[in-house]
Chain A
Amino acid sequence: MDTLLTAEVYANSPRFRRRSSVFVDAIHDMPETQELAPAQLYSTESGRLFHSGRIVIATVGLPARGKTHISVAVARYLRWLGVKTHVFHLGDYRRSTVGPGKDVPDDYFFVNASPSSVLLRNKILKKCREDILNFLEHENGQVAIYDAVNPRAGGRQAIAKEFAKHKIETLFIESSCDDQRIIEENVRSVKISSPDYIGWNDMDAVRDYLARINARIPDFESMHEKDLHWVKIVNGGDQVIVNNCKFGYLSQRIVFYLLNLHIKSRQTYFARAGTTTEEESYKADAHLSEEGREYAKKMSETLFEHRKKERQAIIDRGGPDNALKPLTIWTSTRKRTVETAFDLADMGYRVRQRTQLSQLHPGDLEKMSEQDILDKFPEEVKKHAQDPYHHRYPRAESYHDLAVRLEPIILELEREQNDLLIIAHESVLRVLYGYLMACNATDIPKLDFPRNEIIEIIPSSYSNLAKRIKIRSLPEHIVPNSPDIIPLSAVPSISVSSFTNGDEITSGSATPSASGASQGSSQGASETPIVGKGAMVSTSVGSGGLGAVADADEISLPPAAQAEQDLESDPLPVREKVAINPTAQS
């Protein structure tokens, strides 16, 4: 169950494509063919949407401006909409070409580099661009994101010209930043966890890193080319300049998304609402029960303690004592979620109610028991088992409906600069988690959020990581996922290979029921099989492996694994990556 990737796997994989792992979201995995994405409205034979043609998005900007973050975020959003998108990080090609532990020559980024450096540069660029073209021409790809520095106007013209020969439009996205605080924060949060800086004080490391960048890339030119398509994001979105971008629906939609994106790092937490006095009734909109209030209190305390510890850890490393973002809380307008936030509101946190966060509407299943549903809608139950993501019970919403209606929430989620706790119904958490962790649509209805865990999503530059924070000493019976409106376990005769729903209802453990390894991956045979596919935490080990990890207060990546995630993007020396196998610890 060695599922985290190592340097060797990167280097040996035929297309240098990144892979997700059990804790890391699936944004670098290619989705299964022909499967509809979570918020996809329709599909086409060509696999391409909106008559928008094929687009290369090329990033422009100095290191620590959030280029990789923007690349991955745009890919996440486009994939969510069903646009076949892949990110090509030039840094991956650079590292795999020069070999582990080595670095490119000092003059690699210079305009007047030595012939050998130019040769090396061209070799790396060529390999990356061949892969991009292959993706767009032979794999039905629609958007390829080319994550690189692209510092010179001449080089950018050449890229656009080269892709234009293949009838591919090139859209440049520059992240330009003259606000020193934003740059330093970015360096601190994503760059200096490198082994190079072990034992350094945070601020010293930041200064050292920035000095090296300036020495390495002295000839950067901001975008000004009138004839190219580009978007310039100034200081993380204070101002956005859009040049000559009216060439298609997708380009405009990307700009819309970028208007909501910022480049600062912040955490998202998910928590369930407490139990109510009238659990079964959707329409009743009941108050929290005594137990529900107890849960709300414990959840709030757990989160508060957790954040206190995180803050102390940053200070201990020499970081600023305001490094933790303020916390904002979103609830739905339903009483159970609003009341679950009461304790946090009393602690002085800002709570906002969002109507769009209402749970999946149960329609005619309101107040029905599993047996009633089976008796009354046997056909619907069967249909539901075949496609739990898209199927709607009579008068009910499907997960797909929910994903489409959450669009404004998703953009506001990107827009939010504070740390964010979302208290909502499990159905809503499933969809939002599915977005942040790039889950397959089919996995989303199966994600499990037991009440005794707060989920924390931590952005790192290449992908999001998920952690579970345990809430201790809750009564056993309120822990399992809520009585779901989809009683699949009550269906005896249906067997669909990829899920075993008995577990979902009865497990009650910290083990999520998401498909994980049982799904496996149907990628090409030459590629390493992936486990997880963005599921919460791989479950292939059942309660054994994970149970052991879950004994800890938190399940988190060992620091070295974080470093592996964080280190990739920039032209600074990178140590050989370490293979990490989380379950090996148990």
Chain B
Amino acid sequence: MYRRTNTPNPPAAFFDNSNPEGERLRRAAASAAVDDMVKWFKNENSTIAILDATNSTKMRRQWIKERCDAERIETLFVESLCNDKSLVMANIVEVKTTSPDYVGQDPEAAAKDFLDRIRKYEEVYEPLEASENLTFIKIVDVGAQVIINAIRDYIQSRMVYYLMNLHIRPRSIWLSRHGESEFNLSGQIGGDANLSHRGQLYARTLPNLVQESAGDRKLTVWTSTLKRTIQTARFLPFEKLEWKALDELDSGVCDGLTYGEIEAQYPADFRARDEDKYNYRYLGGESYRDVVTRLEPIIMELERSENIIIVTHQAVIRCIYAYFMNMAQEKSPWMEVPLHTLIRLTPGPYKTDEQRWKANIPAVSTWRGKGSAAKHQESPLGTPGTELPEPVMKANAT
């Protein structure tokens, strides 16, 4: 980013270590980035900054460490070392040619230029060594081996744990709610109801939607342990796993009630939930925060896995969606996730790409806006089940 400010589309020669002008500019860029980082730590209530650069020499790393030590900032170096050439090439094509450095350039020429750039780096590249006395994690060949050095506290171990689950192979995640259930028709929440007639139609259509958006890719299906998700997924021609952790948010004493009944029986709770929906915990049940806690294994498994389709429930999809799309806590519990719609998320290096496919099967809305009457409303995105062009929307997270 800092380098791009001055040299937005640099040729490979810029990265030649023997090019004094390039070296000078790169040093200046690194210095500017570290200055900003230090400033950011001072000005805000900041805890973790990520300095995204190659930092390929011992000297550069020592320089960063000294700068951070002086500011009493702990450092954790992350090295990704790839000896497998085919992995490197795949990564270049998938990731780097979509990089801002190569905007508007011919992909093949871009890939070649990038390989040249790597060669320049390789000339001076010094892999991390224990003798440098740094805290580091070295990920070899996308996790085949991981070397972890001098971890000093819990947060660092937590970051390493997360990094170990990551991979950089291209993949997508498909999310779908269960088909319309009998409880959806009656406006009741929770429960373990069967699919309605229209819900069953959605279950039969789902394989086509998946085929349309995933092509011939082999997916794995995850459902909750509740009937409506298992019934929805049953025609998908893939391996299926049931996860208790994917069950719908437990609405405790309100399970099986309609919003109207909740408002009548628990008026204070009904209002409290609108005020802070993320933290509100149903009496004897769960809050969104509780759901996020129990989804930890699911998120880690999602990071570790390749193509997964998850058939689950509204609140759970909101949480998973918020994680991948970096959506704020106070917003995600209000997000609309229409029935009979397949969402595909494709995490990329700079953003997560989203596409939706709608089945042409009408369903009730189960969405209710903040502070509104105690009943489900029509969707602001358009009436569910009406014919909309496919895919209906395309959104990018930033």
Contact = CB atoms under 8 A, between A and B. Distances in A.
Interface of A: 41-44, 49-51, 237-246, 249, 252-253, 255-256, 259-260, 392, 394, 404, 408, 411-412, 415
29 contacts: A41-B245, A41-B294, A41-B297, A44-B244, A49-B297, A50-B297, A51-B243, A237-B151, A239-B148, A239-B149, A239-B150, A241-B148, A242-B146, A242-B164, A243-B146, A246-B164, A246-B165, A246-B167, A246-B304, A249-B300, A252-B164, A252-B300, A255-B164, A256-B157, A259-B157, A392-B284, A404-B293, A411-B157, A412-B153
Contact of B151 (A43, A240, A394, A408): A240
Contacts of A238: 149-150
A256 B151 contact: no
Contact of A43 (B158, B241, B243, B244): B244
Contact of B304 (A42, A252, A260): A252
Contacts of A41: 245, 293-294, 297
A256 B161 contact: yes
A572 to B, nearest CB: 33
Contacts of B28: none
B362 interface: no
A392 to B, nearest CB: 8
A44 B160 CA distance: 29
Contacts of B148: 239-242, 259
B392 interface: no
Q: Which of B130, B161, B244, B297 has the most CB of A within 10 A?
A: B297
A243 B160 contact: no
Contacts, number: 89
A141 B300 CA distance: 23
A246 B243 CA distance: 20
A508 to B, nearest CB: 34
Q: Which of B150, B157, B158, B284 has the most CB of A within 10 A?
A: B157
Contact of A412 (B154, B160, B243, B304): B154
A252 B158 CA distance: 11
Contacts of A253: 161, 297, 300
A253 B143 CA distance: 15
Contact of B165 (A43, A252, A394): A252
Contacts of B144: 243-244
Contacts of B167: 246
B145 A241 contact: yes
Q: Which of A49, A242, A408 has the most CB of B within 10 A?
A: A242
A260 B301 CA distance: 21
A298 B12 CA distance: 71
Contacts of A252: 161, 164-165, 300, 304
Given A249-B301, A256-B158, A259-B148, 13 more contacts: A42-B294, A50-B301, A237-B151, A242-B147, A243-B144, A246-B143, A252-B165, A253-B161, A255-B161, A256-B161, A256-B164, A259-B160, A412-B153
B283 interface: yes
Given A252-B165, A259-B160, A394-B283, A242 B145 contact: yes
Contacts of B245: 41-42
Contacts of B243: 51
A275 to B, nearest CB: 31
Interface in B134-150: 143-150
Interface in B153-173: 153-154, 157-158, 160-161, 164-165, 167
Nearest to A410: B154
Contacts of A255: 161, 164
B300 to A, nearest CB: 6
A50 B150 CA distance: 29
Given A51-B241, A239-B130, A256-B161, A249 B294 contact: no
Contacts of A256: 157-158, 160-161, 164
A249 B167 CA distance: 14
Interface in B238-288: 241, 243-245, 247, 281, 283-284
B149 A249 contact: no
Contacts of B147: 239-242
Contacts of B301: 50-51, 249
Contacts of B164: 242, 245-246, 252, 255-256
A428 B36 CA distance: 41
Nearest to A41: B294
Contacts of B143: 246
A239 B148 CA distance: 6
A244 B300 CA distance: 17
Contacts of A394: 283
Contacts of B165: 246, 252
B9 to A, nearest CB: 36
10 closest residue pairs by CB, A with B: A256-B161, A259-B157, A42-B244, A242-B146, A240-B148, A41-B294, A239-B149, A243-B145, A412-B154, A241-B147
A255 B157 CA distance: 9
Interface string B220-234: 000000000000000
A252 B301 CA distance: 10
Contacts of B281: 392
Nearest to B252: A392
Q: Which of B154, B160, B245, B294 has the most CB of A within 10 A?
A: B154
A332 B213 CA distance: 51
A576 B283 CA distance: 56
Contacts of B154: 260, 408, 411-412, 415
Nearest to B283: A394
A352 to B, nearest CB: 12
B345 to A, nearest CB: 20
A42 B246 CA distance: 10
Contacts of B149: 238-240
Contacts of A243: 144-146
A245 B161 CA distance: 12
A392 B241 CA distance: 31
Contacts of A239: 130, 147-150
Nearest to B138: A241
A72 to B, nearest CB: 20
A259 B294 CA distance: 22
Contacts of A44: 244
Contacts of A260: 151, 154, 157
A51 B300 CA distance: 12
A257 to B, nearest CB: 9
A81 to B, nearest CB: 10
Nearest to A240: B148
Contacts of B244: 42-44
Interface in B77-96: none
A241 B304 CA distance: 19
Given A51-B243, A255-B164, A411-B154, A244 B304 contact: no
B161 A249 contact: no
Contacts of A237: 151
A41 B154 CA distance: 21
Contacts of A404: 293
B98 to A, nearest CB: 26
Contacts of B161: 252-253, 255-256, 259
Contacts of A242: 145-148, 164
A394 B165 CA distance: 37
B161 to A, nearest CB: 4
